[in-house]
Amino acid sequence: MNKSFGIEETLKATVNSLSTPEKVWQGMAAVYWAEVVGTDAAAASEAEKVVNGVLHVSVVHSVWSQELILLKGKILPKLNAKLGGRFIKDIRFSIGNVAGRVGTILERDPTEQELESIILDEKELAILQEELNVTQSIPDEKLREAITRRVTRNRLIRRWRQDHGWKICLGCTALHQTDNELCPLCRIS
């Protein structure tokens, strides 16, 4: 029987096949932080690192630290559910630099009109073409077209974000909105 996997299942299978999947899943905690805690809390906090299963989070003010401590009982299970296991055992909050994110975090994605107005340069077009070449081996036409649309949209969103102040991580080339040269995930690694 031919069983097809979705992107989420494929990602989980790939990560779990690595020699230290726990470290990857722990690192993903920083990626999922904003989604789990919501826009307001994410604007006032930043997941910094994971040490021995403890996620260390910087917050801009003691009020936010107290608020997040009170919500920790809800945040921790939600975060671990997103990660697919009990990879984060505790969360510690400390007042610190949140990379100037309060009031400056970009809280929206580009509109379709904004995306349509983006013109990729030659280098970006070459990268996009390289990414799209991978889809040519997908036999299912509808799936291939859907993935092609998603990859193209992601490339346009990346350019839009760069145009709106996001920085390229020197470690992994992911885009981020911190004052650091490295994204939160690379700083955890």
Q: Side by side, which strands form the sheet with 45-51? A: 45-51, 54-59, 90-95
Q: What is the pLDDT of residues 151-179, one digit of tens each?
A: 999 899 999 989 988 889 898 888 877 77
Bridge partners, 47 (sequence order): 57
Give the pLDDT score at 106: 47
The most distant pair of C-alpha atoms in the chain lies apart, rounded to whole Å, by 56
Give the pLDDT score at 19: 66
Structural domains present in the chain? 7-106+180-188 (3.30.300), 112-163 (no CATH)
Instruction: Give the pLDDT band (50/70/90) at residue 104.
Output: very low
Q: What is the pLDDT of residues 38-93, one digit of tens each?
A: 877 888 899 988 888 999 999 988 778 888 998 899 999 999 998 888 989 999 99
Bridge partners, 90 (sequence order): 54
What Rg do the C-alpha atoms of the chain give, in angstroms?
A: 18
What integer best gives the mean pLDDT of the chain? 82
Instruction: Give the pLDDT band (50/70/90) at residue 20.
Output: low
CB 110, CB 51: distance < 8 Å: no
pTM of the shown model: 0.48
Written in H, E and C, the secondary structure of the chain is CCCCCCHHHHHHHHHHCCCCHHHHHHHHHHHHHHHHHCHHHHHCEEEEEEECCEEEEEECCHHHHHHHHHHHHHHHHHHHHHHCCCCCCEEEEEECCCCCCCCCCCCCCCCHHHHHCCCCCHHHHHHHHHHHHHHHHCCCHHHHHHHHHHHHHHHHHHHHHHHCCCEECCCCCCEECCCCCCCHHHHHC
Q: Average pLDDT for residues 7-32, to the nearest whole number? A: 72
Q: Which residue has the higher pLDDT, 17 or 55?
A: 55
What is the amino acid identity at position 166? W
Q: What is the pLDDT of residues 123-151, one digit of tens each?
A: 999 999 999 998 888 888 998 899 999 89
HSE, side-chain direction, 13 A CA sphere, residue 87: 22
